[in-house]
A and B are shown apart, each in its own frame.
Chain A
Amino acid sequence: MINVLTILFCLTLIYLAVTTRLSAYVLILVVQGALVAGVHALAFFSDFSWSHLIVAAAVLLVRTLLIPAYIVKIIRQLDMGHRDRTRRYHPGFLVQMAAVVVGAFLISHQLSRFTPVNVIPFGAAVAGIAAGGLLIVRRRLLLAHVVGFLIIENGLFLLGIGVQAQMPWMIEVAGLLDLFVLVFLMGIAINQLKSQFPEAEGAELTVLQD
């Protein structure tokens, strides 16, 4: 079941490559949040304790509800429209994303020969981290950068599962709180940037240079 959920996670990454719709970005975050919460709940099911349930619930709350809702609020507040206007659909991005996913699974497979890792969750995690980075590099819209960052964070969460690393629940929850505050601050910054750089759709940050 964990493998099914992590493969679904990889499919969201492919969808990320073919869409430029802002609502699709939010949908991807919601689905990924639910998937990683599910993976967490299942991964530690055999070793059940209330703390696992707390972490899974916190993940579900923060990653599928609070953060996406906040991003929707920013999109509406700034009247950003329906799609990322700084970018059109480009098949090259899809090819790159597919290469990232395949490459991540090959790395995971190779690594599993030397050290105990769960091949599919580990591969999906590496793919998530690389895909988030790719989105940040390929898109100019700052909101897309935030989405990229959140996808990296989702990948990171899966990485913990992939290497069977179970953090104390307090640290997991503190990490989630950190993430939420970070996104909140980024949202405020985007708000301010949009008001200060109304001319640039992507709010290109090129004032500070050497």
Chain B
Amino acid sequence: MITTFALLILPLIATVFTILSSSARANQRITLLVGIAHLIASLYCLVSLRDPFPNGWWLAVDPLGGFFLTILAHTFVLVVLYSPSFLQRMQGREYDHSKRLFYPALNFYLLANTLVLVVQQFAILWVVLELTTFSLVPLIFFYRSKESLEAVWKYLFLVSLGLVFLFVGVLFLGISARGISDYTAFSVARMTAAAPQLNPLWLKASFIFVLVGLSAKIGLAPMHPADIDATSNAPAPVAALMAGSLRSTAVLVLLRFYQVVARTDVQPFAQKLLIFAGLLSLGVSAVYIWHNRNFKRLLAYSSVEHLGIIALGVGIGGVALLGALLHLLFNSFGKAALFFMAGNIHRSYGSREIDAVTDLLRRLPWSGFVWALAFLYIVGTPPFGIFFSELFVLRGMIQTANWLSLFIFLALLMVIFIGMSRAVLRMLHTPGKSSAPAVADRERLNLSHALGLYAVAASVPLAVFQPPALFDSLHAILAAFGVKL
């Protein structure tokens, strides 16, 4: 309980401090300090908690929450480390207000996401999930351009509309539990225990609404457009935060509902829905990755692809669920590296167009190198983590003899791989034209490259050696879904 409150109090203090303080340096330091403390507390939860259904008040950390808290805190620390260099290059009075709001919004983001991850009450989940949307508004609107304004509007509107659907799902879940539990005792532990007695018809309806409602926030097709616009128009650190942690937070909310469904006869129906949503997202991302001319949108569609793989893994179940959880973790690493480098490239070339970026390896050797490495990472090349998590998902499909899904999955992965390769290789190797925009002097190795290299390299020992602290926790999570490996 003390850890739970520490996880909430720390970002709250940092939010208040950064609102009151006018020193950018002090704000950065306190945010980093809180991020590191949050990461330590999250790791402690990850390695120490084994009870899948803690008896607590409305707030408690379970192994599932501990895992997602670690993803959130880790991405947050990477982003805070990257942020000073980003803010430094945002010179000009038009950015003053955005810079002033940056750290308070970042800390509020951490607070809002932590709240979602520790809330164990279905009726509160949708309220706190809306807070994560609010925290992002000043961050997405950082550039104060037409594009960022449009992105903010669409994100705010569509995600909020999605959360209305989520609320309907919560109501229907309550109806399915009529006579068993009322909304005041609507906790995950209680509902999971009572799952076999729930009304299957209302439970099915509830899961449909929950999935559709959360799709806008997760970035699953066909509700993905707002998320694409927001991610591709937000500054690089914010985009990394959204792709690496915000979508994971929304996935956790989906998993909370799925925990209940997984103990009922409705599970096969929910699995089919998840598999369909996953494959549809892969299909949509394959089409748009192939045609895209904007490298930040390309990365945003790559997120749709990976969230699709995660939905697919959850839907397949068994070892694929383990793959889906690992994929969430490794995707957050890769997206941080890719968006940090995308920020460097955008700054140097002054454009997000793929055609405008030429000769990347020669002009920006370090950014180009990390960009190429992160590309290999995200398309699932061994020995990087994504390769192993995708392998688990594949194994799950083979074990359950889900041959049609397997065929579609592999075919779409191939199309996406070729589509991304075309874009990335063009950026890396196409010789520059004389009319190409001038770029800065030959770049040196800096913190952003080190962070990118760390992010892609860190997944290798995690995937290859499978540290017991992480995998014991993952097995405890799987047990909460009735999966034993």
Using a CB–CB cutoff of 8 Å, the interface residues on chain A facing chain B are 114-116, 129, 142, 145, 149, 152-153, 156, 159-160, 163, 165-168, 171, 174-175, 178, 181-182, 185-186, 189, 192-193, 196-197, 205, 207-208, 210
Contacts and interface: CB of A to CB of B under 8 A. Distances in A.
B157 interface: yes
Contacts of A196: 146, 149
Contacts of A129: 164, 168
B160 A115 contact: no
B151 interface: yes
Nearest to B167: A156
Given A159-B168, A167-B183, A205-B153, A182 B291 contact: no
Interface in B169-193: 171-172, 174-175, 178, 182-184
B298 to A, nearest CB: 10
Contacts of A145: 157
Interface string B230-255: 00110000000000000000000000
B150 A205 contact: yes
A159 B171 contact: yes
Given A152-B164, A163-B171, A168-B183, A178 B146 contact: no
Given A145-B157, A166-B182, 9 more contacts: A115-B199, A116-B178, A129-B168, A142-B153, A149-B160, A168-B184, A175-B167, A185-B134, A210-B292
A208 B147 contact: yes
B447 interface: no
Contacts of A115: 175, 199, 201-202
B171 A165 contact: yes
Q: In which size bucket is the chain B interface? A: 35 or more
B291 to A, nearest CB: 7
Contacts of B151: 208
B130 interface: yes
Contacts of B154: 205, 208
Interface in B457-479: none
Interface string B198-238: 01011000000000000000000000000001001100000
B124 A185 contact: no
Contacts of B150: 193, 205, 207-208
A205 B184 CA distance: 41
B296 to A, nearest CB: 11
A193 B153 contact: yes
A186 B291 CA distance: 32
A193 B157 CA distance: 14
Given A115-B202, A168-B123, A185 B147 contact: no
A149 B175 contact: no
Contact of B124 (A149, A152, A171, A207): A171
28 contacts: A114-B201, A129-B164, A145-B157, A149-B157, A159-B168, A165-B171, A165-B175, A166-B183, A168-B123, A171-B123, A171-B127, A175-B127, A178-B127, A178-B131, A181-B134, A185-B134, A186-B153, A186-B156, A189-B149, A189-B152, A193-B149, A196-B149, A205-B154, A207-B146, A207-B147, A208-B147, A208-B150, A208-B233
A73 to B, nearest CB: 19
Contacts of A142: 153
Contacts of B417: none
B175 A163 contact: yes
A185 B160 CA distance: 12
B288 interface: yes
B297 interface: yes
Contacts of B9: none
Contact of B156 (A153, A189, A207): A189
- The interface centre, meaning the residue of B131, B137, B151 with most chain A CB atoms within 10 A of its CB, is B137
Nearest to B233: A208
Contact of A192 (B131, B149, B164): B149
B475 to A, nearest CB: 34
A26 to B, nearest CB: 19
B161 interface: yes
A171 B152 CA distance: 26
Interface string B349-366: 000000000000000000
Contacts of A175: 126-127, 167
Contacts of B127: 171, 174-175, 178
Contacts of A159: 168, 171
Contacts of A178: 127, 130-131
A193 B145 CA distance: 10
A210 B291 contact: yes
A139 B168 CA distance: 24
Nearest to B232: A208
Contacts of B172: 163
A102 B141 CA distance: 42
Given A167-B123, A189-B153, A156 B164 contact: yes
Contacts of B157: 145, 149, 186
